[in-house]
A and B are shown apart, each in its own frame.
Chain A
Amino acid sequence: MKTCEAFIIGGSAGSLEVLLRVLSEVRSDLSFPIIIVVHRKHGADSLLPNLLASRTSLIVKEVDEKEKINAGTVYVAPSDYHLLIEQDRTFSLDYSEKINYSRPAIDATFQTAAEVYKKKLVCLLLSGSNADGVNGLKSVKAWGGQAVIQDPASAQVAYMPAQAKLHVEIDRILGIEDIAEFINLLSNQSYHE
């Protein structure tokens, strides 16, 4: 039995609609943070957090560097920085080279989070057209966390979750309609491995 300490969602092309739906159905008393890393264009920074905030009563905010990570909050990675998780459960930002042509790269967040939260981490990879996140999910598994993907059959762009399925031992494959319930069930309770 273990509890979830952080839930991280990585997504790219075709993931926005899924995120909007999921957030509208997630319970408002979550016992862990949701951290969202999506590929997006540099510039229109406040748009995505505002859009997501319109669907939930949870606090949704773009990450500030060195910010403490709190339960019950939805954090969105800023554009054009990698989002890293520190051992003291704070965020830090990194302007190093793009990874998989992406900054933020899902891999960077999954990997640093894996080493911090270990067994108490659940990472979900959504629709997308490149393989970002796949190596990250491998790290999550190596450190004992859970790797979850959107069912490639339900994804607007199946490549990303399909690559994960191919290369990583996935714990759960979820249809769009099942994601929020999965998250809600992780909240405030221990779950079986």
Chain B
Amino acid sequence: MELSAINDEQVEMLISDLLEQYGYDFTGYSRASLKRRISRLYSLDKALSFAEFRYRIYSDQAYFKRFVEQITVNVTEMFRDPVFFKTLRDVVLPKLGTYPFIRIWLAGCSTGEEAYSISIILKELNLLHKSLIYATDLNPAVLEKAAHGMFAMSQMKQYSENYILSGGTQDFSTYYTANYSLAKFDEELKQKIIFSTHNLVSDHSFNEFQLILCRNVLIYFERELQHNVLDLFDESLEDLGYLALGTKETVDFSRIANRYKRLPGHKIWRKVGHENM
């Protein structure tokens, strides 16, 4: 791919088509990644011309779904960044454990690996019974996969290592049963997870949470959209609740920054309210 299959103007045309025809708003997304993903799909699906590609997205609902699935990045892992999960286990969740009920929002959960990871930690901390994880994503297809709770067997060695590095002490393999090339995670782990679609760009706050996690989603948004989404999280987070972002993401420079206090060294912020700081 020396020259992209799709140029900048064509990206803009597709973005405005999506908004006009389907109400999906990608105007606030960073363009470099979108352009790469769209070009990739264009080549993958052997589109004959841009006009044909565009028409197909515009007129064929099923293809539009595929398009949205393919231009967003759904890569994820269990216990990715083990140190982050160790902080959840050692600091954040025990704090929240003093509440009668723990509501967690995992935004941009993709195929669910993070949701199951959190569920495992909650179970080990004996908090799962009084927790509820709302795991949301823009893509219905990844949520469907998440609800199955089956992940590639070939990943389990890596996930098990991550799990141990994150402070896990059990035998990781007790959480799933091997089924040919897939590891099926225990039903118990997903009993407290609600998978549901939610678009961070256009949907509103739907509950109040003590912990909101949104990792590696904001990197795909331009600054302004990032700030809007952080406002949405702020609206949806109780006082003294925690907000967790990806390794390279931050609340600094946003409108909510002065109400949040960072856990030193971690991408986790605590909502300390208006008067403080």
C-alpha spacing A143/B73, complex, angstroms: 26
Classify the interface of chain B: helix, strand, loop or mixed. loop
Q: Write out the residue numbers on chain A whose beta carbons fall within 8 Å of the beta carbon of B73.
A: 94-96
Stretch of B13-21, B28-36, B203-211, B235-243 at the chain-chain interface: B28-36
Per-residue CB proximity of A92-112 to B under 8 Å, as 1/0?
111111000000000010011
Q: Write out the residue numbers on chain A whose beta carbons fall within 8 Å of the beta carbon of B223.
A: 66
Stretch of A3-11, A51-59, A81-89 at the chain-chain interface: A81-89
**Would you call B3 an interface residue if the criterion is a C-beta within 8 Å of the partner chain's C-beta atoms?**
yes
**Would you call B60 an interface residue if the criterion is a C-beta within 8 Å of the partner chain's C-beta atoms?**
no
B31–A87 contact, CB under 8 A?
A: yes
Q: Which of B's residues lie within 8 Å of A, judged by CB?
A: 1-4, 8, 30-33, 36-37, 73, 75, 216, 219-220, 222-223, 226, 246-250
**Would you call A181 an interface residue if the criterion is a C-beta within 8 Å of the partner chain's C-beta atoms?**
no
> Closest residue to B7 on the A side, CB-wise?
A115
Complex partner residue of A96 from B8, B75, B246, CB under 8 angstroms: B75
B3–A142 contact, CB under 8 A?
A: yes
A84–B4 contact, CB under 8 A?
A: no
C-alpha spacing A85/B33, complex, angstroms: 9
CB distance from B84 to the nearest CB of A (A): 12
**Would you call A78 an interface residue if the criterion is a C-beta within 8 Å of the partner chain's C-beta atoms?**
yes
Complex partner residue of B33 from A92, A115, A138, CB under 8 angstroms: A92
Q: Write out the residue numbers on chain A whose beta carbons fall within 8 Å of the beta carbon of B32.
A: 84-87, 92, 94, 112
Other than A94-B32, A141-B2, give 20 A-B pairs with Cβ distance below 8 A: A66-B30, A78-B247, A78-B248, A84-B32, A85-B32, A86-B31, A86-B32, A92-B32, A94-B33, A94-B219, A95-B75, A95-B246, A96-B37, A111-B1, A111-B36, A112-B32, A112-B36, A135-B1, A139-B1, A139-B3
C-alpha spacing A45/B170, complex, angstroms: 29
**Would you call A25 an interface residue if the criterion is a C-beta within 8 Å of the partner chain's C-beta atoms?**
no
B4–A115 contact, CB under 8 A?
A: yes
Q: Which of A's residues lie within 8 Å of B, judged by CB?
A: 64-66, 78, 80-81, 84-87, 92-97, 108, 111-112, 115, 135, 138-139, 141-143
CB distance from A24 to the nearest CB of B (A): 28
B8–A64 contact, CB under 8 A?
A: no
CB distance from B135 to the nearest CB of A (A): 18
CB distance from A45 to the nearest CB of B (A): 8
Taking A65-B219, A135-B1, A135-B2 as contacts, is the C-beta distance between A96 and B33 under 8 angstroms? Answer: yes
Q: Write out the residue numbers on chain B whose beta carbons fall within 8 Å of the beta carbon of A92.
A: 30, 32-33, 219-220
> Closest residue to B253 on the A side, CB-wise?
A66
A93, A142, A143: residue with the most chain B Cβ atoms closer than 10 Å = A93
A139–B33 contact, CB under 8 A?
A: no
> Closest residue to B37 on the A side, CB-wise?
A96
> Closest residue to B83 on the A side, CB-wise?
A43
Q: 28 A-B pairs, CB-CB below 8 angstroms?
A: A65-B219, A66-B30, A81-B248, A84-B30, A84-B33, A84-B36, A85-B32, A86-B30, A86-B31, A86-B32, A87-B8, A92-B32, A94-B36, A95-B75, A95-B219, A96-B36, A96-B75, A97-B75, A108-B36, A111-B4, A112-B32, A112-B36, A135-B2, A139-B1, A139-B3, A141-B2, A142-B3, A143-B3
Q: Write out the residue numbers on chain A whose beta carbons fall within 8 Å of the beta carbon of B219.
A: 65, 81, 92-95
> Closest residue to A64 on the B side, CB-wise?
B248
